[in-house]
Structure 1
Amino acid sequence: MPPEPTIMNRLKAQTCKQPPVVEANLTGKTVVVLGASTGIGFESCKHFAGMNAGKIILACRSESRGRAAVEKLRQETGYTKGELWIVDLADFRSVISFVDKYEREGGRLDILLANAAMEPGKFIPTKDGWESTMQVNYLATSLVVLLLIPTMERTARECGTRPRIVSVSSELMYDVGFEQDAVAQRGIVKTLADPEYLKKGARMRQQYSITKLLNLSFTRSLTTHLPRTSPLIAVAPAPGFCVSELRRDLTGAFKHVAKVMETLIALPTEVGARRLVAGAVGGKEDELRGQFMNRAEVWKPHPDMETEEGRGVEERIWVETLELLGKVDSRVKAIAERYLSG
């Protein structure tokens, strides 16, 4: 049975001896890592390099930091097949350009590790008009996944493999939920990103956790709507609380508290990467479909997701997400109709 998400179990998962990295042979396979220039994303690339991946695409926002990451990967592992591709998840046009390039030049796609995220702790709008945490962590990440489904389906068909979609979640999602103030609105996602909604209480400080809950919801809904015969495996692992640059934009007392917590219980970044790699190459494939993973094992989802009402909210969010992203790129609707009719 999957562990219950009690405080004691979560603390134990954070502080007990961590399992070793899962090993696999990735010869000839292509891995894409979003948010690969530093932290857990970069450490994941190092693990994939050690498994002799045919190609690792480091998808980064900054060209200078991305180039430095490719060179660092070469220096630290000897791996020479890393490629820098630019994508800025805070700009939908950049996401579309990234996918268009992949369709032209990327070839096969065996593992998509959607790791990029931000936690500014304050309201910052994107040029597309969205709250930045919502766009980067959820909407743009989901758009990349959806638009690359045809490529992964083709890879499965032509190469006889089962590509994996690894959407990074967090055990912090257990600490939040979709409040009735948002659920009562026609657009739940739009409400969760609305500046007026976020002004109330501690909602902006919880926005990162909310997007991680949305990442799991998306993974579960994607699995539900993929036909049971689909070769794609979607899973949502959590890296645990790690030393990371994720919190570099925090300010004030919140940043101080985060630093203290890092000193007391944070895992090394490399250990967090092991957990993501476990979602990418470990476990029994069909047992991982649509699951949340913590400490490299399947855990129970958010309690609300196990109720009838919660499943209804999840489906509403799925439908709204497809509608919102369909307005960004018309291919979303066609992909949903062809591949997500389950």
Structure 2
Amino acid sequence: MHLGFWTWVRGQFFTQKPVVKTDLTGKTVIVLGANTGLGFEATKHFAKMKPERLILACRSQSRGQAAVDKLKAATGYTKAELWIVDLADFESVKQFATKFDRDGGRLDILVENAAIGTFKYAPTKEGWESSLQVNSLSTSLVALLLLPAMIKTAQQHSTVPRLVVVSSEVHYWVKIEKRVYENPDMLKTLGSAEYCTDKAMRTRYQLTKLLNVFFVRALNARLTPSTPLIVNTVNPGLCDSELRREISGIQAVLASLVVSVLAFTAEEGSRQLVWAAVAEQNQPEKLRGEFISACKVTEVADFVLSPEGVKAENQLWDELVDILGKLDPRVTENVEKYLSTI
């Protein structure tokens, strides 16, 4: 599928459907990036469905606690839990997963919403470009470390958990260069200081969202059809949120202008996240491995479906598992135990 600019603009004027609802009694929901924007609005919707546990996974203790307090005031829900995780720090992600292994119990819905957008190269302490690590590598690491909990939940409670990765329609507007996808170290190349020129950074956010699409498709392809786990990725559309907080200067001014004219509210965008997480209760298989936009399954970008895209997807998966497996052996163990090979 190709998404033209004016088609995208028209889509921003569509009226959003009401939020879909279901009964989450007894279930556990985790939302990454839950203290603000889309993540916080999604937690408000989930809270009204009365889950047994609702975990707000946030980077900041103070902002996270403020979100928990706001959630209680807005919904009356009293079971929200604040768990700290910094996706710019792999050790923090590992500690988060270890805590869940120890204290989490069942896991029915994991919404991976946390992301940053920036035009400037800034490496993390592990040496990766920051938005690549936060939006792609750590997002994938959380998913792979919590995979056993979701499968165990399915087996013990006869339910079908869901892993929702928040991507974007901007993945239609970027490709991985031939010189990169022909390189055996694609991710290392994309995360290097040498590659992250000013030009490359102008489309960095789009690239990370493309990588999210590839990750979901690759993970789903390696889950056997009988595995009771639905993995999908969702596009909330352009929304007025704090995603632009990393942008400054003329880019910030232009982004604010576009947002003021075209953006959905964060609450409207959050309905897409909730739809991906709880819709189609009677036929969840319809959402397996899919890209969701405007509350329906939508075809991904032509590049993703092309022979070059398929090659890049498989190559990215292999490199990702190798990188994350060296960070935490549990990744390798989980991949070998729960996933098939292609």
TM-score surpassing 0.5? yes
Tell me the distance in 2 between the aligned counterparts of 1:337 and 1:116.
Answer: 27
Instruction: Quote the offset at 1:308 in angstroms.
Output: 2.2
Q: TM-score, normalised by structure 1?
A: 0.97
In structure 2, relative to structure 1, the CA distance for the partners of 1:219 and 1:285 (3 Å cut) is same
Tell me the distance in 2 between the aligned counterparts of 1:43 and 1:10.
Answer: 23
2:223 corresponds, among 199, 222, 226, to 226
User: Which residue is 1:191 aligned to?
Assistant: 189
1:31 is paired with a residue whose SS is: strand
Q: Give deviations 1:158-188, integer Å, cap 9, x for gaps.
A: 0111100000000011110111121121111
Matching of residues 1-342 of structure 1 within 5 Å: 5-199=3-197, 202-283=199-280, 284-341=283-340
Letter in 2 for 1:97: Q
Structure 1 runs not aligned, ≥5 long: none
Q: 1:4 touches 1:300 (CA, 8 Å); kept in 2?
A: no
Tell me the distance in 2 between the aligned counterparts of 1:140 and 1:312.
Answer: 22
Tell me the distance in 2 between the aligned counterparts of 1:204 and 1:30.
Answer: 37
2:39 is paired with a residue whose SS is: helix
Deviates more, 1:34-43 or 1:306-315: 306-315
Deviates more, 1:157-166 or 1:301-310: 301-310
2:201 is paired with a residue whose SS is: coil
- Among the aligned pairs, what percent are the same residue? 47
Letter in 2 for 1:226: L
Instruction: Quote the offset at 1:63 in angstroms.
Output: 0.2
Structure 2 runs not aligned, ≥5 long: none
Tell me the distance in 1 between the aligned counterparts of 2:134 and 2:306.
Answer: 28
Q: TM-score, normalised by structure 2?
A: 0.97
1:178 is paired with a residue whose SS is: coil
Q: Give deviations 1:161-217, integer Å, cap 9, x for gaps.
A: 1100000000011110111121121111111111111216x2102111100000010
Q: 1:5 touches 1:300 (CA, 8 Å); kept in 2?
A: no
Tell me the distance in 2 between the aligned counterparts of 1:107 and 1:138.
Answer: 26
CA RMSD of aligned residues (A): 1.2
2:221 is paired with a residue whose SS is: helix
2:303 is paired with a residue whose SS is: helix
Tell me the distance in 2 between the aligned counterparts of 1:191 and 1:14.
Answer: 34
Instruction: Quote the offset at 1:4 in angstroms.
Output: 5.8
Instruction: Quote the offset at 1:228 in angstroms.
Output: 1.0
